[in-house]
Structure 1
Amino acid sequence: MTRKLFCEISPLTYKISYEGHILKRKITDTLRANISKDKYDTKLPYIVFEHQSLMRRGLRKVPVPVEEAKVKNLQIAAPKVNRVLIKPGETFSFWNLVGRCTVQNGYQSGLMVANDGELKKGTGGGLCQFSNLIHWMVLHSPLDVIEKYHHEQVDMFPDSDRQVPFGSGTSIVYNYLDYRFKNNTSTTYQLITYVGDKYLHGELRASEAPKDTYEVQMIDEKFIEEGGQVYRCGKIFQYVLNNGNLISEKLIKTNHARVAYDTSNLEVVKQKS
């Protein structure tokens, strides 16, 4: 018989293990990490990249009350990140700024994606849209992503007004699944984040004019049937250009995600046996 881990013995031991992990990370961050925390009321002068993300997508699997709860959660979280500076040598940590999502802090029960790719409801659900927005902006800059998780092993919804490539999102769980990037440049950066009527808005700004431009593209995306199951496949690349000339390219993500919706209207390639 396989011996159970301490966290698997009972709900209580899971809770103890979970809280212990959170405390350990807080202590580690206090002692070792140079986490961004200072804010600057004035916007830095140069826009590196800006993006807006539609909050209410009207997907069939997502009830309206759950989607409205997500909007409320974003309205609470966005100001906690807004105008933060990421100085040279500092690390941005999503959870260090946003904090824990609790009912006492005003968060509502929104939609979450579990480890197995299934949908569930939880307090603070929907905030991955916020970390997705930040990540998409960071991909268009020289900032270095040092911690990122994803739940793209399952393609949950058919494309609806998709603005960014599938697979470029993030997965976050307080506080052990964090989204972090580090500023290894000599330039100070700043995040501007706010909620409008329809969109979650973001700007990545800098103290100096950008020298390069960045493009992120999906290459060779296709739907492939393997063993009776359809998968969404493709590769995401980041391209760095200077005066229009390509100076480097980097593979960001390789997708191989099980499609969890009706594929009858898709062009599916059958894998050769």
Structure 2
Amino acid sequence: MNKKLILAKKHNLYRNTLFTTKTCLLSAQRMLKNALEGNKKFPDKKALIDLPIISASESYLWNADDQEDNWILTAGKIQNLRLAARNINGVEIPAGEIFSFWKYIGNPNFGKGFVTGREVKEGCIVPTKGGGLCQLSNALYDAALKADFQIIERHRHSQVIAGSLAEKNRDATVKWNYIDLRFRSNFPFRIEVQMTDSRLMVVFKSSQKNNPELNTNYKEFFKASSINDCYSCGNKACILHNGREKIKNTGKVTYILDEKWIEYEKYLESVINENDVVLLPFTPENKLKNSKNCWNLKGKNIQTCSIPSLRRILNFKIHKGKNPFELALAEDQKICRKMAKLIPIESTHLVVSQNLLPFLYKDFHTAGRTLDVLMYRLPIEILQKKLDVAFSTYSESPTLHDFRASASIWSLENEALKQARKIITPHTQIAKLFPSKSHLLTWHIPQKKIHKSPEGKKILFPASSLGRKGAYEMRKLITELGLPVVIAGKAIEKNDFWKNIEVEFADNDNLFHNIALLVYPAYIEHHPQLLLEAISLDIPMIITEACGIEPGKNITVVPTGNYAELKKEVSKFLSLHPIFQSF
């Protein structure tokens, strides 16, 4: 009798019904037992986060032997691991208390977003909802053994998959909820789960390991079993064969986009193909054409998050006086949660707007996927350090130190940026932070017909009067050199900032009229649109490195925060233009 006929007999309707009935009865029995025992669930208190690592386990996410017939099961497994990792990452277990796998994961069969993955069942790998969680339980068991924890409950797989921890007898199969993994330690410990584009890592932190227990049954080794796969064995007579069509592994790309820059739009138009998924705040046909979140990208797989995006616009208007960066972080997280639900499980590469990156990484959406980042600003940690430097000089500023993102946010961003394959930006200062993986775009120089006097007599400060924009340096320049300055923005450090200093606030309809020089000593400038307009008009400018534009014709770049060098270059320009000699 050939192998396929044996399998067809083995997986018949009677045996499958019997198996399902048994699992339901065992699950009900275990549920009652757990209720009587009162299993506890412990939150992430971050009390043990700085303790040393006492053990770790690492494994590959993707299977090198996958074929186009069955790779979708691995993609489903990785999606299930993403969901499970969120529930276990950061768990802190007190001394003597029991960790239970299912206590933290919950029932994967209902309402938790788990998808079809792979499960070993009666000699075959079969597609099962929540399948693949054993890779996480294997890693937890392996790390527990390395830490000499007491193993309360552990079950071996019935079949040994080649290359898995089952070959070393360091595996732990799980099945909701009657087949569990449970262990404990004499010392409090913390579990951390990390997932890169290719690996799953489980780390235990504690003050020390246990004394070695009699956990010696794992030292026996087993040969890999011959295991069939429902998606590739071809045995259509089997009751478990679902007859689904093959999904070819074409490496689908998902673009998760927020703020539109024309530089990014041009770049994406050249790389997006018809099979890619594009997630946008609004549809290209949206009536809010003046919104900075309205992209004009075309494609058949465009999906949008219009309602949370509209809510964000309204919240910015309602909370106009609140720190914009603080408000943006809160609103970005809400939009990110919505967009993340639209990422297909077969997506193996993400291109992400930077502001959404920490939240995607935190919830493991970048796990098992390669990553490119559209970089709009400096990394939060570096940005805040630059603001701290400015504040150390101008401690009277009410805006240079008004908000700082938590260390947890910027550390998430840093970790995600480490995982990124490519950093895409037109900003030269940002690109220089990532020399080995930056992809530098060209700034878009607008071709606007803006009236400009042939002989300008004034100097433009192209921003609001804020510390991060260099307002204190500008005030000092005006005082020392007597400059005729036009201020472009309306926001101001404090009401008396320009007290006893003569300045002019610009008419934004004719901003560059009568302008001979642009001076911009910014500490932070991510999108220098007014500078790009000035370049199109050949207006000379003296700017800092923070502006992200390389020196060139009519463009002088000075070190950020170096007032002496700034004053030297401005004085040099004034000496070469007689029209300023009277000032």
Q: TM-score, normalised by structure 1?
A: 0.67
Change (3 A) 1:249 1:58: closer
1:88-141 CA-to-partner distances (Å, cap 9, x unmatched) read 221111011101112632111111101x32211100111100001101100111
1:155-198 CA-to-partner distances (Å, cap 9, x unmatched) read 443x4xx6885321121110011111123x1x101111132221
| Distance (whole Å) between structure 2 residues aligned to residue 127 and residue 173 of structure 1 | 9
Change (3 A) 1:103 1:197: farther
Shift of 1:209: 3.5
The correspondence for 1:59, drawn from 44, 61, 65, is 65
Tell which structure's C-alpha radius of gyration is larger.
2
| Amino acid paired to 1:27 | L
User: 8 Å contact 1:50–1:137 — kept in the other structure?
Assistant: yes
Match of 2:107 in 1: 100
| Amino acid paired to 1:76 | L
Identity of aligned residues (%): 21
1:14-69 CA-to-partner distances (Å, cap 9, x unmatched) read 76664443233223223225434232235141211123221002224672211111
Structure number with the higher strand fraction is: 1
Structure number with the higher helix fraction is: 2
Root-mean-square deviation (Å): 3.1
Q: How many residue pairs align between the two structures? A: 212
| Distance (whole Å) between structure 2 residues aligned to residue 17 and residue 36 of structure 1 | 27
Residue 174, structure 1, aligned to residue 176, structure 2: yes
Match of 2:201 in 1: 201
3-state SS of the aligned residue for 1:112? strand
Match of 1:41 in 2: 46
3-state SS of the aligned residue for 2:79? helix
Unmatched segments (≥5 aa) in structure 2:
1-13, 228-583
Change (3 A) 1:122 1:141: same
Unmatched segments (≥5 aa) in structure 1:
1-7, 213-239, 241-246, 262-273
Match of 1:252 in 2: 218
| Distance (whole Å) between structure 2 residues aligned to residue 121 and residue 193 of structure 1 | 25
User: 8 Å contact 1:103–1:123 — kept in the other structure?
Assistant: no
| Distance (whole Å) between structure 2 residues aligned to residue 95 and residue 255 of structure 1 | 27
User: 8 Å contact 1:36–1:85 — kept in the other structure?
Assistant: no
| Distance (whole Å) between structure 2 residues aligned to residue 85 and residue 60 of structure 1 | 36
Q: TM-score, normalised by structure 2?
A: 0.33
Change (3 A) 1:202 1:256: closer
Shift of 1:200: 1.3
| Distance (whole Å) between structure 1 residues aligned to residue 132 and residue 183 of structure 2 | 21
Change (3 A) 1:254 1:52: closer
Match of 2:146 in 1: 140
User: 8 Å contact 1:93–1:180 — kept in the other structure?
Assistant: yes
1:229-268 CA-to-partner distances (Å, cap 9, x unmatched) read xxxxxxxxxxx5xxxxxx998342434546428xxxxxxx
Aligned 1:93-132 pairs, distance under 5 A: 93-102=100-109, 104-114=111-121, 116-132=122-138
| Amino acid paired to 1:250 | T
| Distance (whole Å) between structure 1 residues aligned to residue 209 and residue 184 of structure 2 | 17
Aligned 1:12-91 pairs, distance under 5 A: 18-42=23-47, 43-60=49-66, 63-91=70-98
Shift of 1:9: 10
